[in-house]
A and B are shown apart, each in its own frame.
Chain A
């Protein structure tokens, strides 16, 4: 796919780069085996719609929402969730 054929340009970034309230589509999980396996089992497979709900008062942990359930995870782990967003 070349840039020309894509109507809206998508960007891949860690979910923590999104502002609270924004959502994206899971592109990849760049995480160590266990964490990755668990997040996958919770339903965070590639292509899932996931929302960055909020950051805790001190910026860590973060709350994300996908498939109708809310999860809190440490920033360190959330940084490995790469999402695709359309501006």
Chain B
């Protein structure tokens, strides 16, 4: 067997042949693959250190992680690719599709692998060997990283690694990736491979297919457009098995497969059916027979545990009562900490940014450049930074939940509730986090494997009332809602607040349900979820996870958010009205001149008065500038559209400037009404509330009535008025169309609901 193995000529991948230069040979590409949760990423981190590059595969949001071998000084560099987890080469999710495409060399942005490291969970050998043998049979130079040896031992199983290596025909490295035990041996082996790739044993056929089935497979393999000869023929054979077995097989136009091929596959299936061979199951059953035989030879149960420690824990943590209580407790702690704990660093960051802003302000003389730097760039950077503490904390929690294995239990507990509207149990955490901020919430939707469920979750996340809406709610409720006690501790303002949160949730659920019934109907809601044993998390991994998320956010979304903020600054600053600017300068000059001419005895008093007058003048200038800017003009432009909701153009300005960040509504309204840019002190806030209450329409009736307030609150509860969220939706769905559609849809719904509130209220005679 091994003689046969060594004489077989290993495949020569395209990539190494093309690279001509002798001095620096092309790096060897080693892919890490295996079942989900078997320790691929842990091993990848141990092999590559902290130098991983995280990106996405072209066109899909599946994460792609690549890194160089840690400390390799050898002539041939080695690059590792950490593939997502897969149960089989017949894909059921985009993750698995990527795995299959990389291994069958259909993935255009990944060159042919030079070597495959199959990570196998020793504590779950049989199931892991199913995928492992599928991959071995592809004929790459392959090694097995037999991971989780500690867990296998603790569960009372001894494994004969030498025997396993002999049965599979490739080297086996037992290891505990999380404590790096056994990793150096694998590393040395990979370095040796890179020096002399041709000497490495390659995978061979292991599984005995029924002879008739095998004959059909060979026939289909030969008619593949990219049929390969020699050892490469194994790739074609593997592909033919997958085609024959996969009911959903459709020809791939991009690799030159024709409808003709599909017909051949159908004919073959028919012939097999006549021989009463079930083409759907024959290959799978044959493989399990082969795997079962290997496992019997290799595994020796030293003690039989009726219940592992993980099972014991599960009896409590998924218990009807205790499990539910524990879940609520975990969620409460998580939510509370992103809601309140994140405020501390956020505050710190905000102060720091304000400090930088004022520093620059002091260095430069007042003018357009200063305004651009302070109000445009620095404030824009601040708008990106405020998301970071929440993202970091949330991802620390998510990493903790995932690494311990609790995430799967949380999904198990919540699946029924979310399932009612067609969502997955895993949608719960992204949605819950969105109450703090939709940006980390949307990023958290990455934990949902199913692409349509993930998309629906992303699209409804902005409907959860986030913490940036809170200042808007507070202000408008203070202005418009009468402070009436209803029953016991329940007051009208409290009830309105509760109603706004409920409105978001109910609408989100309704839209999710609708989307799953119509445009995002999944043809197969496959909800099979593995419940892995509980594991002790590695602190290192948790922080690494957090760091990766945060830097990815800054790189991918941060730049766009910054750009949008600068654009919004421009729209709120220009054009300037030279007449008004001049008259402002004249007035200011007159005031100071007047003060100087007054009686010097009462100077102390006048100084104070003068400052107050100047401040008032500055407020008027700021207000005038904003009202005359592009944003002000846009506000007037959209007035006819928002008039049916009871809003005037000044509210329009507030709505438009909210796109930089919702809470800016408060400070924008302060500027619009010449109450300063404040809202920072209680006094300012009271002043703003008072001013808003005094606003009148042209006919003399008050503007901020209860009804207008409610309509505006409803609008804010629904509309997607946040550039950060819109950009993250665009980045996470990889489609500008979804982001725009979301913006328009939620805008339209917000408008309609506001309209109903305002006009309905008027119809009922509430004013």
* A residues in contact (CB < 8 Å) with B: 32-43, 45-46, 54, 56-61, 63, 67-74, 77
Contacts and interface: CB of A to CB of B under 8 A. Distances in A.
B365 to A, nearest CB: 65
Given A57-B324, A70-B530, A34 B92 contact: yes
Contacts of A54: 318
B416 A67 contact: no
Interface stretch (B7-15, B407-415, B609-617): B407-415
B527 A77 contact: yes
Interface stretch (B121-129, B581-589, B734-742): B121-129
Given A56-B318, A57-B323, A42 B281 contact: no
8 contacts: A34-B248, A37-B247, A38-B87, A46-B285, A67-B126, A70-B531, A72-B529, A74-B415
B87 A41 contact: yes
Contacts of A71: 528-531
B280 interface: yes
A72 B417 CA distance: 15
B248 to A, nearest CB: 7
A58 B531 contact: no
Nearest to B134: A41
Contacts of B87: 38, 41-42
Among A36, A73, A74, A77, max chain B CB count under 10 A is at A74
A74 B126 CA distance: 24
B531 A74 contact: no
B419 interface: yes
Interface string B47-89: 0000000000000000000000000000000000000000110
Contacts of A60: 415-416, 419
Given A34-B524, A38-B87, A72-B412, A45 B284 contact: yes
B447 to A, nearest CB: 15
Contact of A56 (B90, B248, B284, B413): B413
State the majority secondary structure of interface residues on A: mixed
Contacts of B531: 63, 70-72
B273 to A, nearest CB: 15
Given A35-B524, A54-B318, A69-B127, A43 B412 contact: no
Nearest to A75: B416
Nearest to B425: A61
A39 B88 CA distance: 11
Given A33-B247, A37-B247, A56 B285 contact: no
B601 interface: no
A69 B413 contact: no
B236 interface: no
A63 B124 CA distance: 17
Interface centre among B126, B247, B526 (most CB of A within 10 A): B526
B130 interface: yes
B526 A34 contact: yes
A61 B130 contact: no
A77 B416 contact: no
Nearest to A61: B415
B288 A72 contact: no
Contacts of B245: 37
A70 B408 CA distance: 11
Contacts of B318: 54, 56, 63
Nearest to B284: A40
Nearest to A34: B524
Contacts of B247: 33-34, 37
A59 B417 CA distance: 11
A60 to B, nearest CB: 5
Contacts of B126: 43, 67-68
B320 interface: yes
B127 A42 contact: yes
A74 B527 contact: yes
B449 to A, nearest CB: 13
Nearest to B533: A70
A73 B529 contact: yes
B316 to A, nearest CB: 12
Contacts of B528: 35, 38-39, 42, 71-73, 77
A37 B280 contact: yes
A61 B527 contact: yes
User: What 5 pairs across the A-B complex have the smallest Cβ distances?
Assistant: A58-B416, A70-B531, A33-B247, A41-B88, A72-B529
A61 B288 contact: no
Contact of A72 (B281, B323, B408, B526): B408
A37 B242 CA distance: 12
Contact of A43 (B280, B288, B417): B288
Contacts of B246: 37
Interface in B400-426: 408, 411-413, 415-417, 419, 425
A58 B320 CA distance: 8
Contacts of A74: 415, 419, 525, 527
Contacts of B425: 61
